[in-house]
Chains A and B, each alone.
Chain A
Amino acid sequence: MAVATTIDKPAVAPVVSRLVGRGALAGADRLWALAFVTPYLAVFIAFVVYPVSYGLWLGSNWASYQQLFADPVYPRAIVNTLIYLLVAVNLKLALALLLSGVFMRKGWWSKLLLLIFILPWAVPGIPSFISIHWMLNSQWGLINNAIWELFQVDGPPWLDNSNLALGSVIYAHIWKWLPFWTVIFLAGRMAIPRELYEAAEVDGASVVGRFVHITFPLLASLYLVCTLLSTIWALGDFNSVRFISGGGPALSTHVLATLGIRNAFELGSPQLGMATVLTALPLLIPLVYLLMRHLKKGEVAL
């Protein structure tokens, strides 16, 4: 399998291992090691441990939860968050898994297609989201202009109807992140030995059969890890909602991440904002736990 599996290192090994010190580091080496990890430790303590503790302290005020639960925007934001996570993440990953198969085809066309296809990933998010926001404007946007030219009817008010607005946010999320996950699955597919498919072909397996019996079982673990990771990232996604719907119309498309920022900065209550965000922990902690467990098993390298 791997090329560099065994390089025999005979007589030197025992001598060297003492010098390098497989156990505890000694003297100067220890100081060097300490000096080398200090920058990271400093960053971790100052900018992760401290903000996390401070955030937990800000969110430990019971009164802000009472205030939060009394806010009619909050339950709507919870529902939106769940819809966003379930629909956007799963639809995106299922499409990515299928599309990655298309890019496995040989030839210049699929290479060129891939180059075009990854554009949304290469373009920074903010310009794209601003463009999508304007494109979906019901009066002057490109989409409704096109609908008018083609069918002579007024298109739907994409961003002025709460369901359509949430749908638009999901569309923007999928548009932006589909290429990234497709490339991940493409890399996963390329790691599957060709011989498996050749053997299946000899046995007369169909395209669907090969996907069900070879591709999917071998990619299942990767697919699960990607689902968990993508869900965690989507839970913290601020930009899609902020720029596509802005939480509107009438605060009906907020998710927890944007509502937290709104409560903290627009309403000027960091405690309320932190309480909003912390109510995502019952979802976040199991996701992180599952992800850590799968990564520990080492089937999928991160």
Chain B
Amino acid sequence: MSLARRARFDRIIAEAGIVLLSAVLIIWTIVPLYNMVRVSLQEKEDVLASSVFPTSVSLHSFYTALHEGYWLLKNFWGQMGNSLYIGITVAFLTLAIGTLTSFTISRMRIKHGWMLTNAALMTYMIPMSFLAIPFYSIMGKYGLLDNPIALIAVEVTFATPYAIFIFKQYGASIPHELDEAARIDGASPPQIFYRIYLPLMAPALVAIGTYALLLSWNEYLYAFLLLSSDSSITVPVGLGKFLNSDEAPWNYLMAAAIIYALPPMAIYYAFRRKMNSGLTMGGVKG
């Protein structure tokens, strides 16, 4: 009897612990995000109010951001477009280069495939920010400063190594007999690549495409260095410019930041399972 009571007592303690831990985790996670929403819902004059909850809730700053009604938001939609265009191009190029390389390394059994794998591994381990200085100088020499091509090039460079690992690992589950059968039927390498390899790699393509798109959408440092004119910058660079202005239009800044953050969040949650299956294969570069 007392044993049963003891067990019940233990369970209650455990349940209470879980409730407490959950509360701590939720508060920890939500506070910075709540702050973002709180500030975005205030009028410009109330931004400096010392309150925990928004004093007068209004969607005015979202309206302003959507209608580019503030000088720092002048080209907000243009910047969203730049981010999207660069992100999609990066995703497409990463998929193309990554699949071609992994196909050649693991399916065509080229002699020095391991060298390519090692090159990719090395690239993966170079901290991106350390290459920013020479990369900027080189892009200056090529005359590509303030040109989205420069940013696309660097994003593809740093997204491809991870793509190659995942494709190699995922591709290992596709039986070689398929290639061999196609071979006997007289298929050429491009046909095997296009007709057999790519369709079977579809789940990995979705995972890596999403990864490359998000990597590029979230990039700040290189976008900040390589792009400068108002018409070519991406959203994070535009948000960074707010910080350097003397005024404090924090409500506009936060509204624009939320609008910018929503699409990747939607993509993230929609493709979470695919991304997670990519994760269990290894680790995603955040």
Contact = CB atoms under 8 A, between A and B. Distances in A.
B180 A232 contact: no
B31 A142 contact: yes
Contact of A126 (B111, B239, B269, B283): B239
Contact of B135 (A51, A232, A260): A51
Contacts of A125: 218, 220
Interface stretch (B62-70, B71-79, B184-192, B200-208): B184-192
A288 interface: yes
A201 interface: no
A43 B243 contact: no
Most central of B50, B100, B127 by chain A CB within 10 Å: B127
A21 B109 contact: yes
A123 to B, nearest CB: 5
Contact of B264 (A29, A50, A55, A124): A124
Interface stretch (A114-122, A157-165, A211-219): A114-122
A260 B133 contact: yes
A58 B137 contact: yes
A268 B122 CA distance: 29
B4 interface: no
Contacts of A204: none
A25 B109 CA distance: 8
Contact of B50 (A28, A145, A187, A295): A145
B25 A113 contact: yes
B131 interface: yes
B191 to A, nearest CB: 10
B63 to A, nearest CB: 19
Contacts of B250: 134
B199 interface: no
B59 interface: no
Contacts of B35: 131-132, 134-135, 142
A108 interface: no
B119 A44 contact: yes
B101 A40 contact: yes
Contacts of A32: 108, 188-190
A167 B283 CA distance: 27
A181 to B, nearest CB: 9
Interface string B139-164: 00000000000000110110010001
A20 B184 CA distance: 9
Contacts of B103: 36
A117 B272 CA distance: 13
Given A127-B36, A232-B125, A36 B104 contact: yes
A121 to B, nearest CB: 7
Interface size on A, as a range, is 35 or more
A124 B169 contact: no
Contact of A9 (B18, B134, B177): B177
B273 to A, nearest CB: 12
Contacts of B283: 184, 226, 229, 302
B67 to A, nearest CB: 20
Nearest to A58: B134
A130 interface: yes
A87 interface: no
A16 B285 CA distance: 38
B31 A135 contact: yes
Given A20-B179, A148-B50, A238-B221, A260 B38 contact: no
Contact of A187 (B49, B225, B280): B280
A273 interface: yes
A220 B132 CA distance: 34
A126 to B, nearest CB: 4
Contacts of B211: none
Contact of B32 (A7, A132, A288): A132
Contact of B47 (A123, A140, A260): A140
B129 A257 contact: yes
A297 interface: no
A35 B25 CA distance: 51
A233 B33 contact: no
Contacts of B50: 139-140, 145, 148
A47 interface: yes
A7 B174 CA distance: 12
B97 interface: yes
Contacts of A302: 121, 124, 165, 282-283
Nearest to A48: B123
Contacts of B2: none
Given A124-B260, A132-B35, 10 more contacts: A37-B110, A40-B160, A43-B156, A55-B130, A123-B261, A140-B47, A142-B52, A236-B130, A265-B136, A273-B133
5 contacts: A9-B177, A33-B104, A47-B135, A142-B38, A288-B125
